[in-house]
Structure 1
């Protein structure tokens, strides 16, 4: 292949067309027509849908926005329209309607016929004031949809709020700040600083006030923030969209040992990464030092992400860190994660509650604070409940004896999921009377969730993860 064959060519131009005060027409019925009409239901355009005779009723969520007519359009219906989507019909009728529309200056899209259309419909990411289009010129719409799905995970849901505020204040900013370079510096600060954080958290009024303070020269100096973020059980695909965004934006990431490399790979390359991981009996970074690290970096005006395996508030000491950071006068926000119990149970096909077997579920730690209170084993041993133990491998003999002593039957099903949701996941099933022996025989040593109760038997019905046998 010649070198010039690799040169990229822009085959389509994704122009942005204002919709305020414009008319969009859809003709035809069925799924294709409905999909085109649905594109415009939240837009400011006037939507007219000519469904033809004898069509099924229009979905209610579209009918409340559109003018729906159960007939074919005539020439006068097309006057003043900007776009026409033709979804189905006889070839002769389609050609005649398209020709009439073009005579009147209307752009025509004939669904599923890119070569016969004046434009193609891109895959769209709609964030109100921000609209992103992905176009393949009609050649590969499936690829466009897949790319849209990937972009959806990167763009915050409320990013359009920032665009709306910028549009609202644009004239004021231009009248106050005369030089172009100064205006650009203002917008960089306004759209990337505290106003942005407020807007993305849902506080539109607060974001506007912060922008106005910045415009008046009275904005507060940049302040840092600490985000306590749940990294989930290890599989990057189980990370929440918000957690992934915060990772991309973080200046400093303080992470645990159980946070997987795949999750950390989502962070900025230039972010400072601080490993404060602990193992059983080995705490190289004491909890107080972790809290001091969070406060120190946030005090410099940096965005700090405290990345914790699972969920910060389930056996993650997130509550202690929250209190410490708040006491230092630094803003702290919490982003939940999928906790290990839920991820492991899902991977093993174990319902933690079940109408026939378990009317409650209790999460407990196999390791308790020295000289602190133990878990309530009377409640954990209830016959119609599921008990889930974190950090229970080393404590397995004690868990077994206490559960039996409080009335749980020796034949009660158990399931142990080691390294849950990762490629190295292993599952073991048995009975409560053999819990300690099972741990020894199978040499279980990695992070493990122990599930005790009738629902644990469901795990025996599901094959092991296929990755182990690839």
Structure 2
């Protein structure tokens, strides 16, 4: 994090602006909109700043900047085209401990002014840390188009109800938060966004009167598919639930970038499982989900790929259902789909494969429990999850049961992530290819004639 994001209360606070041009005008408008008491130091003012002076909205010192101008100031902005003056303002602000911004000079900025989406009292600020202000403005434009103006009225309505909600639920923080989650994402909120603020307020008052702290404090579990690794492949519903969690359980298949999207104050518990190395046995994970929910917590179980495809989600919800715990399952893009798309290997193709089978290379005891004779059809694609360690045995068994030794085979490592690698060989050569290249999980094996398309359809940067 290059900058600590914060919002300053500048109401009635003395602020200094050095410079009298169009750039300074834009900064002046922001400072005045925030309620700052503005002093501008410049020999002359542009038309816009002169108009603000005539309206008595700022004090103008019609001369060159002097260090004494900083006396009593909360912050200062240097917006001149003279680099020596800007550097001098920065130097004296640093010495005096005054927040300073030098326009278009990130190295001399103790704070920066972001692109702003204003739905007062709701404010959204976007910053590139001074690296790409045009990109920040483009993102701002997209948020402006997506975010209804009614959110400002909704935020004001929530502010009016805060004391009543606090009195209703006392010190039960979890009940209060869940009330607001339901209130601000339900029918009353829709009425406010449509402009019917009075109707929304009446609906929220009725909901508040009927809300029961015990009901709101009941725990629930969300089993959420985190996809194959790339955060852009999360579903909208997954993102929403990730912001509601009190505690999140995740494994080694969930990338750190995805875990970072969980609500910041949520407790994070790693329950990763690797071959012969379980941070927590599955039975203990099942019981932990039940225990946390019974404590009244909203529990997010983040699972790589899809919860129901080799994710043992079925086992977990069986335990939850038996314990009477409320739960939801949110599907995710399974790793096979992500890996095949990013590697340019269609799992089915009219000319190469009419079916696809997902299998796991996870071993029970000393044997891999697969129906080998059923996997020998040349018109079928096989995708092997968790198969890196057992790849030599898998390839040998397929060949021994009749699959051609020259059947194309690929390994896709860290699928959908910038570090993705796609290695192509055959059933006969894949074990040696894996050994020589140092491939490590997470990785999927794709077997079948569709692999021939990898060179033609694969992304060139993979």
What TM-score does the superposition give when structure 1 sets the normalisation length?
0.59
Q: 1:409 to 1:225 in 2, by over 3 A?
A: same
Deviation at 1:213, TM superposition (A): 7.2
2 CA distance for matches of 1:377 and 1:194?
Answer: 54
2:229 maps to which of 215, 227, 234: 234
1 CA distance for matches of 2:141 and 2:249?
Answer: 31
Q: Say if 2:24 is the partner of 1:4.
A: no
Deviation at 1:292, TM superposition (A): 2.0
- Contact preservation (8 Å) 2:344, 2:458: no
Q: Say if 2:372 is the partner of 1:359.
A: no
The equivalent of 2:246 in structure 1 is 251
2:373 maps to which of 361, 370, 378: 378
2 CA distance for matches of 1:462 and 1:329?
Answer: 48
- Contact preservation (8 Å) 1:229, 1:306: yes
Q: Is the partner of 1:9 in helix, strand or coil?
A: helix
Q: Give ranges in structure 1 of 5+ residues lacking alignment.
A: 14-122, 126-130, 135-139
1 CA distance for matches of 2:162 and 2:361?
Answer: 62
Q: How does 1:237-316 map to 2 (within 5 A)?
A: 237-316=232-311
2 CA distance for matches of 1:392 and 1:224?
Answer: 36
- Contact preservation (8 Å) 1:350, 1:458: yes
Q: Give ranges in structure 2 of 5+ residues lacking alignment.
A: 1-14, 19-23, 34-115, 126-132, 190-201
Q: Say if 2:131 is the partner of 1:146.
A: no
Deviation at 1:346, TM superposition (A): 0.9
Structure 1 window deviating more from structure 2 (288-297 vs 254-263): it is 288-297
2 CA distance for matches of 1:209 and 1:223?
Answer: 23
- Contact preservation (8 Å) 1:426, 1:464: no
The equivalent of 2:451 in structure 1 is 456
- Contact preservation (8 Å) 2:175, 2:217: no
Q: 1:229 to 1:216 in 2, by over 3 A?
A: closer
Q: 1:237 to 1:12 in 2, by over 3 A?
A: farther
What TM-score does the superposition give when structure 2 sets the normalisation length?
0.60
2:178 maps to which of 193, 196, 199: 193
The equivalent of 2:164 in structure 1 is 182
Q: 1:241 to 1:332 in 2, by over 3 A?
A: same
Q: Is the partner of 1:245 in helix, strand or coil?
A: helix
Q: 1:435 to 1:300 in 2, by over 3 A?
A: same
- Contact preservation (8 Å) 1:313, 1:319: yes
Deviation at 1:353, TM superposition (A): 0.8
Q: 1:180 to 1:403 in 2, by over 3 A?
A: closer
Q: Is the partner of 1:146 in helix, strand or coil?
A: helix
2 CA distance for matches of 1:426 and 1:371?
Answer: 30
Deviation at 1:389, TM superposition (A): 0.3
2 CA distance for matches of 1:198 and 1:354?
Answer: 48
Deviation at 1:225, TM superposition (A): 0.9
Deviation at 1:362, TM superposition (A): 0.9
1 CA distance for matches of 2:357 and 2:219?
Answer: 36
Q: Is the partner of 2:434 in helix, strand or coil?
A: helix
Q: Is the partner of 1:249 in helix, strand or coil?
A: coil
